[in-house]
Amino acid sequence: MSTTQPLPWFQVEFSELKMVTRVVITCRFDLTLDQCDDFEIHVGDKPGILEQESTNPICSSYSGTLRQVHDLLCNDLQTGHYFLVQKGSPSFAFSEIVIYGFPAG
């Protein structure tokens, strides 16, 4: 995970093709409170690249006021080998990300 970059991100590479249905992100509250708002979740077959926006399809996104837990459904049930959370501001902090889905292949 990158933490203080123009486009901070966290990425997971799945060992097999996955269809992502839901993502639950739990934010850290011992740091600055704006570090877990306004982000996108991408799922696809291209790995993330530092300081570039992901070219994988957007599974879900969150824009708005801070909550401790973000429970998000994936739009159009995206499939891929890579799961990436990307934030548009310079910092990003969370305590847990749970990815729900099933094998797609």
Residues 9-103, CATH architecture: Sandwich (2.60)
Q: Where are the domains of the chain?
A: 9-103
| Residues in Cβ contact with 60 at an 8 Å cutoff, skipping those fewer than 6 apart | 23, 40, 41, 72, 73, 74, 75
> pLDDT of 2-30, one tens digit each?
445 667 888 999 999 999 999 998 887 77
Buried b (16+ CB within 10 A) or exposed e, 67-95: eeebeeebeeebbbbbbbbbbeeeebbbe
pLDDT of amino acid 37 = 76
User: What pLDDT shows up at residue 64?
Assistant: 74
Q: Tell me, what DSSP letter sits at residue 50?
A: T
Tens digits of per-residue pLDDT, 67-83? 678 899 998 888 999 99
